[in-house]
Amino acid sequence: MLERVYDTLIAILYYELPKDNYGKVVSYDRPITAWYIGQRDIKNNNLSVTLKGASSPLKDIGLGLQEFSHSVTFEINAGADNISITERLVQETTRLILASLRKHRRIWVVEYCPICAKFALSPEHFIQDHNDILATYVTGVVNDYNSLWAETHPANITPAELPNSAKATESFLRMYEDVRNNVAVANLPLTAKKNILKMQSDLVEPIRIMYDCVANTSTPSDDATGQALFRNGTITLELKELIKQDSYGPDNVPITAIKK
């Protein structure tokens, strides 16, 4: 569930943090040689980051809406040649990661593109790279938005411009539903159609948004004794996510559904 959130967070950090000539993120010229997903016993790196310890309680927030409160922990592990350097390294790496995370109060989490298999960090990818498929949907989205605007505003106030990411999200989701409902989508390759149908049978949410993201706890060092030259820093990132709840039961289970 948080797998793609982890991938997104690592990709954002990788993009924003300073890198060396080999493409590794560096802190005080020491490369972060591993970005682990999930805690492990042995980390054979001088400097690594582990995303772990997540929890995601879910609650009802209104009719048709539920909200996740995700919590993700970043653990920064450093082991250098002496205690001072280890301590400085863990402090600096925690600072760098925190400096990057603080800017992201809202984060798009986008699945692998079913059309070209790229891992994009913004839904804008869909209208930039697949305009031939989505252009007509974008026109429809903008027209619908403008007519909604006209219903609630005087004619002399022109509609505010929709951000590209919003246009892309709504357009992609309309196309996604057309595939589900077997409506022909112009220019959509057969493989992409099959990928979308597979995503739907796997109950994938193709575009998600995390909001109210805040790194509300950070411990730049654990002041450890008794573990030689090894120090840990931790950052806890809280993220909220709204999801649709469009079916309540108990009669949403067909009588033809049987126990296998």
Work out whether 99 is an interface residue with Zn ion (CB under 5 A): no
Query: Footprint of Zn ion on residues 35-74 (CB under 5 A)?
Result: none
Strand-pair partners of 60: 66
199 is an interface residue for Zn ion by CB under 5 A: no
Name which of 80 and 134 has its Cβ closer to Zn ion.
Answer: 134
115 sits near Zn ion (criterion: CB under 5 A): yes
Q: Which is nearer to Zn ion, 120 or 210 (CB)?
A: 120
Q: Which of residues 118-177 bind Zn ion (CB under 5 A)?
A: 118, 129
Closest to Zn ion by CB, 206 vs 233, is 206
Nearer to Zn ion, 93 or 195 (CB): 195
DSSP sequence for 121-181? SSTHHHHHH-HHHHHHHHHHHHHHHHHHHHHHS-TTSPPPPPPHHHHHHHHHHHHHHHHHT
Contacting residue, 72, 90, 113, 210, with Zn ion by CB under 5 A: 113
Residues 69, 61: contact at Cβ < 8 Å?
Answer: no
Residue 116 found at the interface with Zn ion (CB under 5 A): yes
* Residue 110 binds Zn ion, judged by CB under 5 A: no
Omega within 30 of 0 (cis) for the link into 250: yes
Q: Token pair of 235, please?
A: 């950052």
Distance CA 37, CA 16 (A): 19
What is the dihedral sign for C-alpha 210, 57, 95, 11?
negative
Instruction: Pick the piece of the chain touching Zn ion (CB under 5 A) from 68-76, 84-92, 109-117, 214-222.
Output: 109-117
Residues facing 67 on adjacent strands: 59, 242
Closer to Zn ion by CB, 206 or 220: give it: 206
What separation, in Å, do the N-terminal and C-terminal C-alpha atoms of the chain show?
A: 26
- Please identify, using beta-carbon distances, which residue of 16 and 129 lies nearer to Zn ion: 129
**Contact assessment for residue 205 and residue 199, using Cβ atoms and an 8 Å cutoff:** no
Angle at 3 between CA 170 and CA 63, to 5 degrees: 50
The residue with its CB nearest to Zn ion is 113
Size of the site for Zn ion (CB under 5 A): 5
73 or 122, CB closer to Zn ion? 122
Least distance in angstroms from the C-beta of 207 to Zn ion: 12
Instruction: In angstroms, give the least distance from the CB of 11 to Zn ion.
Output: 15
Name the minimum Å distance from CB 244 to Zn ion. Answer: 24
The kind and range of the H/E element at 247 are none
Contact positions vs Zn ion (CB under 5 A):
113, 115-116, 118, 129
